[in-house]
Structure 1
Amino acid sequence: MSLAHIDTARSAHVARQDVAPAAPRIRAVPDGTQARGFVLYVGIDEAKAAAAGTSLHRIVEALKALTAGLAPTAETYAAVAIAPEGAGGRDVDVVRLALQDPAALAQHRAPADDPDRAPGGVVVDISRKRVILDNETASLTYKEFELLQYLVLREGRTIERAELISSLWSAADEEDAPNERTIDVHVRRLRAKLGRYEDIVRTVRGAGYRFDRHADVSIRQASTPSPDIF
């Protein structure tokens, strides 16, 4: 083979090396759209993480570091999935449901699971911003629902009035500067509308208010119920 042929073959080989292979297409992305990121559901609780010699925080930090190493310009956001203690099922399935994964919801949902068909009790439907009492929608105002939702998402923790004011009222609100009495008035009106279920909002004397889960209370989570704690 002549030197010219060898140089030509070598140049063609180098050119083929310089051309990056086409990235495989993500099957879930339909034509006309583009992938902007992904979600990785990790099912593990603090006890299991501790038994493995780690923690949820360390796992998250390791995944963030890996992502930064592979793609320095990638943006990350980590959220913890919260579920009632003793919730059954596989951890990853509980996480997917808590974070409102569409595929998991489609598999989990059944006609009897429709809050409109609940046999009775209280349904706090965060996803639709409503409360259903014994199959009837309660006529809560926006602020009353926000107050109940704030307590529900912090189940079992006593919330001081000052925290409720700073979290639920802003300078843009039409009401005058709220005070502790403002909170008490809204709680009283909320309880009146909850009727025989008024005790789900508990008064902790000298401290504030707390939501306690009852057997006849069901919570329908919103698409983003989990706080970013990492």
Structure 2
Amino acid sequence: MIAVQDVLVDPVARRVWRAGEEIVLSRMEFDLMHALISRAGEIVSRDELMRQVWGATFYTSSKTIDVHLGWVRRKLGDDSRDPTLIRTVRGRGLRFEPGAEGSAASHG
């Protein structure tokens, strides 16, 4: 089980919960979520996500990632204008935020 903030992921059963409530994700949404939460706190590049989630060795379109990310954020209740779970790091990729404990201590 992977637990970050109030999100719990079971990679074997491919299930996700937020604050104790199960969130139903599609296969791609789950794979995207898992790719990010399993490396919480790290920036994961769009190229890595395309390879890991879509199995694409060529760059299809970042729109694909953005669309799925939008669905994941909506299902998790993560505000896309001010996300607390999955942040976009401009020009670098995406990061699943490890939570409030770490962010107060780390400076930039």
Q: Is the 8 A contact 1:151 1:210 kept in 2?
A: yes
Read off the aligned partner of 1:213 and give its amino acid letter. P
CA–CA distance in 1 between the matches of 2:51 and 2:7? 27
C-alpha distance in 1 between matches for 2:64 and 2:78: 23
Q: Which runs of 5+ in 2 are unaligned?
A: 1-5, 101-108
**Which of 184, 189, 196 is the matching residue for 2:66?**
184
Q: Using the aligned pairs only, state the percent identity.
A: 40
What is the rounded CA distance, in whole Å, between the counterparts of 2:90 and 2:14 in structure 1? 29
Residue 85 of structure 2 corresponds to which residue in structure 1?
200
Alignment of 1:43-192 (within 5 A): 121-170=6-55, 178-192=60-74
More helix by share: 1
TM superposition shift of 1:126 = 2.0
Where is the strand percentage greater, Structure 1 or Structure 2? 2
Aligned length: 92
Post-superposition shift, 1:196?
4.5
Structure 2 contact 78–85 (Cα < 8 Å) conserved: no
Q: For 2:67 and 2:88, how far apart are their aligned partners in 1?
A: 13
Aligned counterparts of 2:43 and 2:66: Cα–Cα separation in 1:
14
The question of whether the paired residues in 2 share the 8 Å contact of 1:191 and 1:199 is answered with no
Point out where structure 1 has 5 or more consecutive residues left out of the alignment.
1-120, 172-176, 216-230
Secondary structure at the aligned position of 1:199 is classed as coil
Normalised by the length of structure 2, the TM-score is 0.71
RMSD of aligned residue pairs (Cα, Å): 2.5
Query: When the two structures are superposed, what TM-score results if normalisation uses the length of structure 1?
Result: 0.36
